[in-house]
Amino acid sequence: MNADVLVVGAGLAGLHTATRLARRGHDVLLVDRRTRPAGAVRTTGIFVRKTLDDFPLPAEHLGPPIRRVVLHPPRLDRPVVLDSERDEFRVGDMGPLYEAAARDAADAGVRTAFGTRYAGRHDGAALLAGPGGPVRVRARFLVGADGARSRVAADLGLDRNTHLLVGAEEVFPLAGSGGPPTFHCVLDPTLAPGYLAWVVDDGRHAHVGVAGYPDRFPDGLRRALDRFRALAPRVAPGLALPDDVERRGGPIPVGGLLRRISCADGLLVGDAAGAVSPLTAGGLDPCLRLSDHAVDVLDDALRTGRPDALARYDGAALRDRFRGRLALRRGLARVRTPAVATAASTLLRTPPGRAAARRVLFGDRSFPTVAAPSPVDQSTVEPYISPSGSEISSMRAPSGSRK
């Protein structure tokens, strides 16, 4: 089988990349080992205002707007309530949202294959294992949208995530909870070491979850979630927990955007590229914005036939813009005892503390956007042999800025 681009992984990053590439006229094959787009959802699905402003997400698959965030200390007494004048968050109904995105992909001309696992590369071809048996795919470019533990990254010799949190949550429908839609965050390192426990209640669904460094949960992630579930009605008074819940979970890369995310044969998007805010662990906005950049770069490379366009897809350059958030992540990682968490919560009650929390939660910052690539400078073109050895093409020598 042949394709211009093989995208591995039909999460939001892969679906977005594949659809936009197909809309620009390229032949795209999108594969995922899950048997259907809505299977095994791994995210709470909180979209921030900037994403809702900039990307056309289907409104019918988004919950009611949330304007209130409540920050709770470990003892759950004297929480800090922050209200915004704007709609700050909406929680996606992720199963239907992925299904709608997969339909958009097919409508754009993407060939999709679910239940199909990427199993490696050999002689410049990708090996797929699908329902009909093994298939070899020759694609000009391989895109790794295969999540935090990306196999494509390993096969392309690119950087890989090493700094990971793990998260788990329970989701269930609500018949309205009476109060305003609210995002509760609990700062307690015995429940969520290095991150937060959360209850999101938008009146239609509730999400009860914890995340943290995997080796720091006192009695494991599952037990931490069980303990937090028991506390959830105190965090969000009136919340009734049913027995029948949907369970979600997975790794979250928080080490910042990886430096080396492209080579002559392909590139990484989404979690595979480490495109997650190190502080908030939000990855939905970054995966859409980085995918747009990837599409510009791949489109340029396919149109000009000059794969040096991929050298512009440089994580090292973008990573510099994460310095502040990486420093705050290190700060959050240092909150190791309830006493420190209580002290931090006391600071959050002060006017400067509240202002800082509002900036992080309600601010206008998002994943850095990247200007579309400018035309290739002809004077720097020289012969290039791809790492697979299978192809000789014209490519500018990698710039010195690549690491």
Ligand X SMILES: Cc1cc2nc3c(=O)[nH]c(=O)nc-3n(C[C@H](O)[C@H](O)[C@H](O)COP(=O)(O)OP(=O)(O)OC[C@H]3O[C@@H](n4cnc5c(N)ncnc54)[C@H](O)[C@@H]3O)c2cc1C
**In the complex, which residues of this chain contact ligand X (CB under 6 A)?**
8-14, 31-34, 42-46, 117-118, 145-147, 151, 167, 169, 209, 248-250, 252, 270-271, 276, 282-285, 287
- CB of 73 or CB of 283, closer to ligand X: 283
What are the φ and ψ backbone dihedral angles of 372, each rounded to 5 degrees? -60, 145
- Write down the least CB distance from residue 212 to ligand X, Å: 11
- CB of 70 or CB of 381, closer to ligand X: 70
What is the three-state SS of the chain? Answer: CEEEEEEECCCHHHHHHHHHHHHCCCCEEEEECCCCCCCCCCCCCEEEHHHHHHCCCCHHHECCCECEEEEECCCCCCCEEEECCCCCEEEECHHHHHHHHHHHHHHHCCEEEECCEEEEEECCEEEEEECCEEEEEEEEEEEECCCCCCHHHHHCCCCCCCCEEEEEEEEEECCCCCCCCEEEEECCCCCCCCCCEEEEECCCEEEEEEEECHHHCCCCHHHHHHHHHHHHHHHCCCCCCCCCCEEEEEEEECCCCCCCCEECCEEECHHHHCCCCCCCCCCHHHHHHHHHHHHHHHHHHHHHCCHHHHHHCCHHHHHHHHHHHHHHHHHHHCCCCHHHHHHHHHHHHCHHHHHHHHHHHHCCCCCCCCCCCCCCCHHHEEEEECCCCCCEEEEECCCCCCC
- Write down the least CB distance from residue 275 to ligand X, Å: 7
What are the φ and ψ backbone dihedral angles of 358, each rounded to 5 degrees? -65, -40
- Write down the least CB distance from residue 379 to ligand X, Å: 37
Q: Which residue is nearest to ligand X (CB)?
A: 283
- Write down the least CB distance from residue 270 to ligand X, Å: 2
- CB of 9 or CB of 189, closer to ligand X: 9
- Write down the least CB distance from residue 383 to ligand X, Å: 33
- Write down the least CB distance from residue 172 to ligand X, Å: 15
- Write down the least CB distance from residue 22 to ligand X, Å: 17
- Write down the least CB distance from residue 19 to ligand X, Å: 13
- CB of 282 or CB of 307, closer to ligand X: 282
- CB of 17 or CB of 345, closer to ligand X: 17
- CB of 283 or CB of 307, closer to ligand X: 283
Compute CA distances 29 → 7, 10, 109, 126, whole Å: 6, 11, 9, 12
- CB of 255 or CB of 307, closer to ligand X: 255
- CB of 145 or CB of 333, closer to ligand X: 145
- The angle at the Cα of 137, spanning 135 to 141, to the nearest 5 degrees, equals 155
- CB of 29 or CB of 395, closer to ligand X: 29
Tokens coding 132? 């009909």
- Write down the least CB distance from residue 306 to ligand X, Å: 27
Tokens coding 192? 């969520």
Closest Cα to residue 83, out of 179, 207, 225? 179
- CB of 29 or CB of 310, closer to ligand X: 29
- Write down the least CB distance from residue 32 to ligand X, Å: 4
